[in-house]
Chain A
Amino acid sequence: DTAVSQTPKYLVTQMGNDKSIKCEQNLGHDTMYWYKQDSKKFLKIMFSYNNKELIINETVPNRFSPKSPDKAHLNLHINSLELGDSAVYFCASSQRTPNTDTQYFGPGTRLTVL
């Protein structure tokens, strides 16, 4: 059973389009994340939701909008795609504790914007 799953695994689209990436976790965690890994392989957090509430929003263009229908799902919608959005996007989840945070990652979605 996959703990954190993402769909699709690959996404190729034209500039200007709107697309969504879905993420689901079956670990019972209360916190979910979206990360972007750019061409330099730098993995950087974009958003974090705890129990459907946004708790981290790093400096990300407002073309990116996360949506959390329940605590097991965190989807990422991207409007008006640009070339620079091409990257691998990872979803992750964790159980929020006072002193530690071990995040479990999905397999990633490789987005290519043409």
Chain B
Amino acid sequence: EPEVTQTPSHQVTQMGQEVILRCVPISNHLYFYWYRQILGQKVEFLVSFYNNEISEKSEIFDDQFSVERPDGSNFTLKIRSTKLEDSAMYFCASRGQAHNQPQHFGDGTRLSIL
């Protein structure tokens, strides 16, 4: 079964540094998402992406965050200047065109900000 893949599995970064989290969605999927889960808290929606643009973003997704689909297969989340509170598990998800398609999730990237 096709899978969503995320790299790296664990990223350790100094506060203030830029970080890019990478995702390869399932190849025929058209909707892409990023979520995060701070330790001990709920999985929270960050952003959805469709047709090469952001379709919805949460209030968490401020100017420090950006997403890109640079080459038709990768889907990246960039955090420009990381803060301690950005430490979390970041999940990428994708789904197909049909309305009743569920989202498929990657294994996540654990981001640790020092």
A and B physically associate: no
Q: Which residues of B contact A (CB under 8 A)?
A: none
